């Protein structure tokens, strides 16, 4: 699952189209792994597959992205993984809440994938 030559990014989003767009923009420089909800991503983490960064949607049917963020940040094995949250609404209170709960960054959909890539590069450099 982990490609030693490239940094690994988990993309957790219930919309396959988002994952496809991100994979398109990121696959040249990063190894991307898509999960359509947080539960299999948690299984992968618990199996020892630790990515360099996680990009997570917030509104997903099986488990919300903010619960997923909480799980990551409360677990000392995973808490150092940077997490970028993708929101479908531009909410200042949500942004403040998620950043204070440990999210590294927060972007509102629709976003420019190039901007997201620059933010990822800054976090991973
Ligand atoms: Mg969603």
**Residue 3 pLDDT more than 80?**
no
CA of 5 to the centre of ligand 1 (A): 30
**Residue 1 pLDDT more than 80?**
no
CA of 16 to the centre of ligand 1 (A): 10
pLDDT digit string, tens, across residues 54-94: 999 999 999 999 999 999 999 999 999 999 999 999 999 99
CA of 62 to the centre of ligand 1 (A): 10
* Confidence bin at 2 (pLDDT 50/70/90): low
Superfamily of domain 7-124: Response regulator (3.40.50.2300)
What DSSP state is assigned to residue 96?
Answer: H
The whole model's pTM is what? 0.95
* Cα separation, 95 vs 76, whole angstroms: 23
Cite the beta strand spans of the chain per DSSP E.
7-12, 30-35, 53-57, 83-87, 105-108
Q: What is the pLDDT of residue 5?
A: 79
pLDDT digit string, tens, across residues 98-124: 999 999 999 999 999 999 999 999 999
CA of 64 to the centre of ligand 1 (A): 9
């Amino acid at each position: 699952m982990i490609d030693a030559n490239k940094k690994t990014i988990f993309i957790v989003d219930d919309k396959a189209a988002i994952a496809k767009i991100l994979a398109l923009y990121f696959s040249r420089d990063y190894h991307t792994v898509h999960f359509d909800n947080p539960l299999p991503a948690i299984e992968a983490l618990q199996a020892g597959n630790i990515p360099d960064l996680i990009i997570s949607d917030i509104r997903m049917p099986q488990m919300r992205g903010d619960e997923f963020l909480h799980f990551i940040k409360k677990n000392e094995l995973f808490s150092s993984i940077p997490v970028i949250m993708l929101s479908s609404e531009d909410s200042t209170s949500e942004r403040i809440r998620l950043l204070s709960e440990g999210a590294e960054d927060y972007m509102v959909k629709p976003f420019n994938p190039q901007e997201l890539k620059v933010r990822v590069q800054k976090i991973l450099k």
